[in-house]
Structure 1
């Protein structure tokens, strides 16, 4: 009986990991906690409100806005997987930031799914813009509701399968360490817990990054080059103005996502810059989802008009 109890205790100890967490000095602890909490609340409320606004407004039932719902849902899921845990760890001392191995795997899956889906969703949104601007006469026949559903499912499925393989290769490894040198769990942190050979993990991880970023960059470059050619050849100022507005919004979000991703990948290669990498990773997780909804909500004319109309209606109702 004692043997089985010892075995269970040993297994339990092996499944409990220690997170390094964020290094925040006492004088910045309260401002950091409050700011992060407010940003999280803003991400949840604004993104969910944007989805409800799009789904409840008939004039916004267009492919571009329906595809945008994917981005908002992805931001909500990504922020929820990461930020509450981050806030909890801020309240604990360094020696108390424990996480169960299963929860760590779930968080790592959420982190990578969020990053992967961000790229795949932005790629299908770029395809939508390409059809709308380069082939406007056939837009309604190509971008049907069925096509929107197919593109959305494809974006999530590709990201899900690629991340499942990525994490599956790390889960198979035995563990000889129990400290995550990171404020949050990710694939690199998981396979670094093992003393086994991680060559396969590194090869697939590199391949995963090259395929995801490569296909993303190539599709965006080709799409926007073709859009630019159409806009240059076209003398329709209204078309060019609308194309510039919607494409600038989309491209801004993509450049921020790509830039932060490249910085994290590069900093992973320099262990001495680990603190800088952690800060960038947290900023990408916390700030980018908040920026997305601000950029789209304020730059897309139809959404901005709908938001203004809702505020106007609420003020009129209050006066009555």
Structure 2
């Protein structure tokens, strides 16, 4: 999959045209998957490249300025998820002051016509774009008549009469409704990152953990979870117990993800791993010392082992 972060010269790639879908695509949930799969299908029908058009930083990131916004995926993970779906190109200009000021016609002319040479555009039925969100499907259809491309609107995906959205999924995760969030995502919620050096506290109390660098990702999860772990260049899948939070017992100040992999004793330092969250166990808690922490971790491990035993039987 080709990645385009700068807009200059992109139009040279699409001389014959392209099939485009637009969105932020945080989480790649079921609704996003419908849009992207339809773009891939239509691109195949027209013998054109499929393009996912998104933004990095996202509009939410931009308008929040220096305040970190909750996100389901890092940019790297979003890229990997979209690539795995079989998309030809990922077009990701920054949402910045220039993007903010584009009116409806300027947005269409620059990005859809000049840069992407769009022949077929696929959007959700609630799609808005351009300055002050002034653009809608109506404006796209009006432009399509003049500029010889077609527009396809995809109906909102609903579960239990609720619209599937990244905002709702973030709320489910924040409220510890992990299984519901996973249903809306269409897969287990996951975080990717590189294993880095930690405080080694887990090893000193007999429960070694992999400390995962999650970068600037500010995700909604907090607490202890049963997880599935996938390690790069390792065909085997592992089970484990993960804690994501601020480690209040040791006065932690930054968001951390630590994973104790069950029945595992290998050095995976600097390896990239994917942690899939399968079941919520408990919230994060401040303990009265390391001994109390160790006792609780052992209980967490036992509960996780019982859960995974039932899962594989």
Higher share in strand: 2
Q: Which has the higher contact order (CA 8 A, sep 6+)?
A: 1
Provide the TM-score with structure 2 as the length reference: 0.23
TM-score, scaled to structure 1: 0.23
